[in-house]
Structure 1
Amino acid sequence: MSISAAQVKELRDMTGAGMMDCKAALAETGGDMEAAVDWLRAKGIAKADKKAGRTAAEGLIAVAGDSGKAVVVEVNSETDFVARNEAFQDIVRNVAQVALATGGETEAVAAAQYPGSEKSVTDTIKDAVGTIGENMGFRRSAMLSVPSGAVATYVHNSVVDGLGKLGVLVAVETTGNADAARAFGRQVAMHVAATNPLALTAEQIDQAVVAREKAIFIEQARESGKPDNVIEKMVEGRLRKFYEETVLLKQAFVINPDLTVEAALKEAEKEIGAPAKISGFLRFALGEGIEKEETDFAAEVAAAVKK
């Protein structure tokens, strides 16, 4: 029998399942709507897509590295409990390996073949939603690489090795000893985890952010009632302090606050055995930028009692 578009739409509205899944369900059940719903539920499709409406802001950050390159990825779940599920940890670990093999670009990783499967990373995670029991999703990934030197990795609040709540990569370019460069890079990665710098250099900070800060500093300085030439120097001083607090190379190094990160790099060159530079860093904090749903538990209970 032929399945109408209206039937497909009705089943889709009822279950939230995808169009092709709905069409397949109706075809398998001879157009019986109730049986089609059960078919989708049995396949785990309706269950997964229903859960897909819930906010996934927990999960894990993973890092993985190889010679001269490293990646950081974020895979989300609804609850912190799932982050301790070994099946979920395996998924996140495998996604990091896919990112390492495909260059780390988020869309490319999402579409890439999942290890040991004919399905993509996205589809594999969707399939796992029904098995693990809550909404999950691959959110983002990125890579840093160097022509020579090392890319150091660091995971803060790690659940198991290489998986945790915050991941950092730091690229150190040098022709010197790669192990020494990685060791120093890891210290800088720990520093980045703690201080969350806006950029590597002052020039890399978004000029809109600088303009906004400067406008605030000017307004604050004017309230002092001092002459314009003094105000100008006050603003210059505050901008200098702003850069010292937000630019990685200008920050006081958390390992040795008597040195800036830039100065600490010069000291590290003695161990590395050649000139070195920090060419980039990445910092992924779990769930940053995701709006979490605020639920009223009392209201939920009251609503359930009324049903």
Structure 2
Amino acid sequence: MSITAAQVNELRKITGAGLMDCKKALTETNGDIEQAVDFLRKKGLAAASKKAGRAATEGAVGSYIHAGGKIGVLVEVNCETDFVARNDSFQVFVKDIAMHIAAASPQYVRREEVPAELLEREKEIYRAKARETGKPENIIEKIIEGQINKFYAEICLMEQNFVKDPDKTVQQFLNETISSIGENMSVRRFARFVLGEGLEKKESDFAAEVAAAAGL
């Protein structure tokens, strides 16, 4: 049978597995979502969810500097043991996450961290736009739900497409690493710095730059 993109996306949301893994699972199970979930779990992806409840208090703070020192990132990634924190695969993961943050500029780690007032403001904007189309309220609410999910995917680290492999989200990349390393891991927090961000040049400095550019 033909497997649709909607089916693949649904399975990805449920399991956090990669795009091709989800498509293969659905193909093998004739599009049955529940059987496809079991198929992926048997392949080892369930290991990540089983480990998710275990305490992860060790780890490392990683850094990444980009654009000749113009952008810098610090990120804390936790794991269960100091042994894994020194593991090369763990260190590579931390570095990759820091690089992703530099490139993708997320604002929050997870959707639960997004302030309620920001979320409501976005919903009101989407609601106003949707009402202009004249669609019924029940359809408008579905449209808003879809727009909010896109909003989360733009600003939340774990829901962004991973810059080194856009076919998977950062959460899926994390799940794969958990399965590979064999310990629970989590991205706890990050800080992204952009040189000069939030600063305003003094008027005299600006005038001097203009004068220099004009040859005065």
- TM-score of the two chains, using structure 2 as the length reference: 0.64
CA shift, 1:297, in A, is 4.6
1:238 aligned to which of 137, 147, 157? 147
In the other structure, the counterpart of 1:51 is none
In the other structure, the counterpart of 1:171 is 76
CA shift, 1:300, in A, is 5.5
SS of 2:196 mapped into structure 1: coil
SS of 1:291 mapped into structure 2: coil
Q: What are the within-5 Å matches in structure 2 for residues 110-259 of structure 1?
A: 147-158=57-68, 164-176=69-81, 177-178=84-85, 179=87, 180-259=89-168
Distance 1:273 1:299 in 2: 58
Instruction: Tell me: CA distance 1:206–1:287, structure 2 relative to 1, closer, same or farther (3 Å).
Output: farther
In the other structure, the counterpart of 1:114 is none
Distance 1:293 1:209 in 2: 32
Q: Deviations over 1:242-295 (max 9, x none)?
A: 001111111111111111101100111244331211111111111111122352
Q: Deviations over 1:110-138 (max 9, x none)?
A: xxxxxxxxxxxxxxxxxxxxxxxxxxxxx
AA at the equivalent of 1:260 = T
2:64–2:72 contact (8 Å) kept in structure 1:
yes
Q: Deviations over 1:74-99 (max 9, x none)?
A: xxxxxxxxxxxxxxxxxxxxxxxxxx
In the other structure, the counterpart of 1:130 is none
Answer 1 or 2: higher relative contact order, Cα 8 Å, separation at least 6: 2
Task: List structure 1 segments (4+ residues) > 3 angstroms apart after TM superposition.
Answer: 296-301
In the other structure, the counterpart of 1:296 is 207
Identity within the alignment, %: 41
Distance 2:200 2:187 in 1: 33
More helix by share: 2
Q: Deviations over 1:141-172 (max 9, x none)?
A: xxxxx8412221111123xxxxx111111211
Distance 1:233 1:298 in 2: 51
SS of 1:296 mapped into structure 2: helix
1:152–1:183 contact (8 Å) kept in structure 2:
no
1:151–1:171 contact (8 Å) kept in structure 2:
yes
Q: What are the within-5 Å matches in structure 2 for residues 55-66 of structure 1?
A: none
| Unaligned segments of structure 1, at least 5 residues | 1-145, 159-163
1:151–1:182 contact (8 Å) kept in structure 2:
no
In the other structure, the counterpart of 1:17 is none
Q: Matched residue pairs, number? A: 152
| Unaligned segments of structure 2, at least 5 residues | 1-55
Instruction: Tell me: CA distance 1:298–1:274, structure 2 relative to 1, closer, same or farther (3 Å).
Output: closer
Distance 1:297 1:187 in 2: 41
AA at the equivalent of 1:233 = K
1:201–1:248 contact (8 Å) kept in structure 2:
yes
Instruction: Tell me: CA distance 1:258–1:300, structure 2 relative to 1, closer, same or farther (3 Å).
Output: closer
CA shift, 1:298, in A, is 8.8
Mean alpha-carbon deviation: is it higher for 236-245 or for 173-182? 173-182
